[in-house]
Amino acid sequence: MPGKREGHGSNHLWVLVIICVINSMGFGIIVPLLYSYGKQFGITEQTLGLLTAAFSVAQFFATPLLGSLSDKWGRKPVLVISLIGTCISFILFAQARSIIMLFAARILDGLTGGNISVAQAMVSDISDEKNRAKNFGILSSAFGFGFVAGPAIGGVLSKYGQHTPFYFAAGIALTGVLLTLFFLKETNTHKDAKQKYHFNYAWLATIFKEKVIGICILISFLLTMAQFAMIVGFQTFTTDELKLSPTQTGLFYAGFGVTGIIMQLLVPFFTKTLKSKSFILLLSTLVCLAMMALSGFANGLMLFAIAIGIYGLFNGLRNPMLNAIIADHTAEDEQGKVLGINQSYISIGQTLGPVTAGFITAISLHSIFFLASLYILAAFLLSFRLRSQEPN
């Protein structure tokens, strides 16, 4: 069986990587432009948070459902549906005439936003336990590259009209649909369309009864909150304290993204040297905790850049390790469902992180980094528990 999976994976992984780069690039293009574009329809700093939350809440409920459907119908049709929904949402955003249309577009994208979890399930399908972390690292680096390249492309395209980036993002999503249809083969060999379908949202809560999987999802949620709280602190600190220009801040953040990509590509080195995925996660979380706390004490660019750079490196190990551990402990016919539930909690973490960071800025800009450190500390303590449950 391992040999069969290896051959299967070598045929499809790189096609999936290209699709993921295209998908995340489209997302990266439009997200930095949401506020500036939406201002003409009455979007404010407060309603921007609601617009972001609308996407995340819709994704929270839709992603495990789509993942579960991919276990039954197959990964390929669900991925196609997700990408079509993304394409339509970008077009709706470009054609928006009111704030209601903006919310409708983001909710539609959230409801069809099973792209990431289905892609992860496909990687799990084509991997065995030995190469699963490596393949998840490659997939994460593909998403990371798209997120880094997207904002730069969006900034350039916006010079040709405020609607241009959104139409371009829609075209990219459509390209992903075509690649999926014509070049990506189905990876779910356990699908059974005749079997009666049953999905229960109670699984979002009962998943925490699973010792290893539940701990992993909680760690993922906490580390996501920490990262997205840090992003708020990063933007405000570089602008208000370090007095960097928007271009300088953008390049700085791109560098942060690149460090994560580099580390994700080095996953095979870590898994070969340290063997235990849970120990690698424990080590990386400890380094992230130290660097986040250090960034909170930084007053100048040099110390801040070093702390954030090292944090970005070791934070890049988070998703490959957690996804691999979750997949290792999930039945083959439930990969989509469980990875979808994990992505649901990630989407909520992406919302709660910035919200809580916004509240704590009343104390000081530095307090955001200490708040993020608190989230990482909780994840670090849980990593010890995971280590006892997941010794190998």
Contact of 43 with 98, CB cutoff 8 Å: no
Give the model confidence (pLDDT) of 29-47 as tens digits: 877 777 778 888 888 766 7
On the 0-12 / 13-18 / 19+ scale of CB atoms within 10 A, 100 is exposed
Predicted pLDDT at 312: 93
Regarding whether 291 and 154 lie in a shared domain, the answer is no
Q: What percent of the chain has pLDDT over 90?
A: 38
For the segment 299-328, the average pLDDT, to the nearest whole number, is 93
Mean pLDDT of 67-82: 89
Query: Do 150 and 266 belong to one domain?
Result: no
Q: Is residue 81 part of a domain?
A: yes
- Give domain status of residue 383, yes or no: yes
Give the model confidence (pLDDT) of 243-292 as tens digits. Answer: 887 678 777 878 888 899 999 999 999 999 988 999 999 999 999 999 99
Q: Specify the 3-state DSSP secondary structure of 317.
A: coil
Residue 135 in this model has a pLDDT that exceeds 50: yes
Question: Cα separation of 62 and 71, whole Å?
Answer: 15
Residues 76 and 151 in one domain: yes
Q: How many residues does the chain have?
A: 392
Shared-domain flag, residues 104 and 24: yes
Q: Is residue 3 part of a domain?
A: no
In this structure, the answer to whether residues 117 and 260 fall within a common structural domain is no
pLDDT at 332: 84
Is residue 334 located within the same domain as residue 249?
Answer: yes
* Region 330-338 average pLDDT: 87
Locate 181 and state its tokens.
Answer: 């249809």
Kindly state whether residues 33 and 180 are assigned to the same domain: yes
Q: How many domains does the chain have?
A: 2
What would the pLDDT profile of 86-121 be if each residue is shown by its tens digit? 999 999 989 988 999 999 998 998 888 777 888 888
Give residue 192's pLDDT band: very low, low, confident or very high (50, 70, 90). Answer: low
pLDDT tops 70 at residue 57: yes
Q: Look at 376 and 238; give whichever has higher pLDDT.
A: 376
Q: What is the CATH number of the domain that holds 357?
A: 1.20.1250.20
Domain coverage including residue 91: 8-187
For all residues of the chain together, what is the average pLDDT? 86
Per-residue confidence (pLDDT) for residue 46, from 0 to 100: 67
Q: Are residues 225 and 133 in the same domain?
A: no
**Cα 334 to Cα 330: distance, rounded to the nearest angstrom:** 6
* DSSP states along 339-358: HHHHHHHHHHHHHHHHHHHH
Q: Is 82 a member of any domain? A: yes
> Tell me, what's the pLDDT at 15?
82
What six digits make up the tokens of 85?
């929904």
Instruction: Determine, yes or no, domain membership for 76.
Output: yes
Per-residue pLDDT for 27 more than 80? Answer: no
Query: Per-residue confidence at 303, pLDDT binned at 50, 70, 90?
Result: very high
d(CA 204, CA 182): 34
Give residue 5's pLDDT band: very low, low, confident or very high (50, 70, 90).
very low
